[in-house]
Amino acid sequence: MSVDYRPMYKIGLVTLILDMVSSGGKSSLNKLHFFVWSLKSAKNREYIKQIIDSNRTEDIVSWGVEPALNKALLLGVAEGLFQLQNGKYALTQRGKQFAGTIQQDKTLFAPEKQFLAAIGKRTVTEKFMSDLTQKISS
């Protein structure tokens, strides 16, 4: 079975996304889907990185919705890693500790961490995601 379908793998990704690119450790479901899709392959990471670096968001046609993400979010909430706050998923204290553990191990999620670190917390905001979604929907 591909790691893409393993909820624990997705929980790790969500933890990193919330920790590394989400302001205040919170994110909408839409933004989580965007980043999980971006992290799915080196090709996706490069595509999104080029678009963000060039500020050519009109070149994004769409991104994938990851069915395994919803299951991972439910499990993460059940395990106390995330909580739902005002329609956004947020890291709990336990989730922050888990993120720290993942960050300390240089062998875990190395390409994903490199990509997320390059994006940072101020680039893909919720407003950015809202505007991007609106562009794609029109």
Prediction pTM value? 0.90
Q: Give Cβ neighbours of residue 132 (< 8 Å, ≥ 6 apart).
A: 34, 57, 60
Q: What angle do CA 97, 121, 50 make, to 5 degrees?
A: 125
Residue with tokens 């393993």: 6
Report d(CA 23, CA 81) in Å as an integer: 17
Which range among 12-16, 50-54, 76-80 shows the weakest confidence by mean pLDDT?
Answer: 50-54
Radius of gyration of the chain (CA): 14
pLDDT tops 80 at residue 138? no
- CA max distance for the chain: 42
The phi, psi pair for 38, rounded to 5°, reads -60, -35
Two tokens, residue 72: 């991972």
Helix (H, G, I), strand (E, B) or coil at 83: strand
What is the β-pairing status of strands 26-27 and 82-85?
unpaired
Residue with tokens 């947020």: 90
Question: How do residues 21-63 score in pLDDT, each as one tens digit?
Answer: 999 999 999 999 999 999 999 999 998 888 888 877 666 767 7
What is the β-pairing status of strands 82-85 and 88-91?
antiparallel
Question: How do residues 83-135 score in pLDDT, each as one tens digit?
Answer: 999 999 999 999 999 999 999 999 999 999 999 999 998 888 888 888 888 77
